[in-house]
Amino acid sequence: MMRSKVLSLVARAGSNRTMSTATKLTTVEVNDKTGIATLTMNRPPVNGLNLELLQDLKSSIDEVEGNKSRGLILTSSSSTIFSAGLDILEMYKPDKDRIRAFWTQLQDTWLALYGSSVPTAAAINGHSPAGGCLLATSCEYRVMVPNFTIGLNETQLGIVAPKWFMASFLSVLPQREAERALNQGRMFTTEEALKVGLIDETANSKEEAIEKCVAFIGTFAKVNPLARSLTKQQFRAADLQQLQNERKEDLDKFLFFVNQPAVQKGLGIYLEGLKKKAKKQ
């Protein structure tokens, strides 16, 4: 898929739509010493997952796959938000072609991250609802800074997390915990997330979170990289295959749902709320 270079509407939570150039929204830095790549999402203010950020994420994951990195650490340039999830502006009064490209890109980006051949870890240095939680649970390890929240809160927003969001969630949580949290749209505090197993460790700062991710990736030092990646991909094959088999149905289901008047109305009210909240501040 061609990398979009055109101007695009970017949602800024708590503000109006503003024009912004679609410059690169992610950065990849490979540590010379460890050989580990840090992939930073950098779409202020909340790393809303719009088409362009998803494209950049996919390109960066591909880059890390290609540059022989020993691992990938996903983090955010924001000090309070890991990622706020799907950009609601992509779904509200959507353009027909763009929303298809958006969802297809989300599928591609997830397939690349969840199925990545390199060890992956998330340094969760801010809130991580919905699509943010999807990205975090698609990694193999999660380290989170305190006083933030994480969860698949789609039902709170009146939408339904697709099956593959559920698959990522279930790769981490027991079925009973996963179902209840999904139904409730529950956001877990860092401490609650640790207790239930949604994250693996806590860290007092982004730096410490990255250090702990480096240590996790270090546990693969003596492991044959090819055997490791084939093992991971075989373990995740059923989840990956299910989306591969149902890509079109999944897209159609999303389009049908998002175009329901009630859903559009809900998204409109939600965006109004964000605007008012912003004016008060």
Within 193-232, the residues that bind its own copies by CB under 8 A are: 197, 219-220, 222-224, 226-228, 230-232
Q: Which stretch binds its own copies (CB under 8 A): 48-56, 166-174, 201-209, 271-279?
A: 166-174
End-to-end CA distance of the chain: 40
Read off the tokens for 122.
Answer: 């998330």
Q: Is 185 in the site for its own copies (CB under 8 A)?
A: yes
Give the pair of three-digit tokens for residue 195. Answer: 């207790």
Among the listed residues 48, 71, 115, 131, the single catalytic one is 131
Interacting span for its own copies (CB under 8 A) from 18-26, 35-43, 53-61, 167-175: 167-175
Identify which of 244, 243, 27, 214 has the alpha carbon closest to the alpha carbon of residue 120: 214
Q: Does residue 154 carry a catalytic annotation?
A: yes
Total interface residues for its own copies by CB under 8 A: 44
- DSSP H or E stretch at residue 172: none
Per-residue DSSP letter, 65: H
Contacts with its own copies in 106-135 (CB under 8 A)?
119
39 is catalytic: no
Task: Tell me the residue ranges of DSSP E strands in the chain.
Answer: 8-10, 18-20, 26-30, 36-41, 71-76, 120-124, 128-129, 142-144, 149-151, 188-189, 201-202
Which residues in the 143-162 window bind its own copies by CB under 8 A?
Answer: 154-161
Q: Give residues in contact with its own copies (CB under 8 A).
A: 119, 140-141, 154-161, 163, 166, 170-176, 178-180, 182-185, 197, 219-220, 222-224, 226-228, 230-232, 234-236, 262, 266
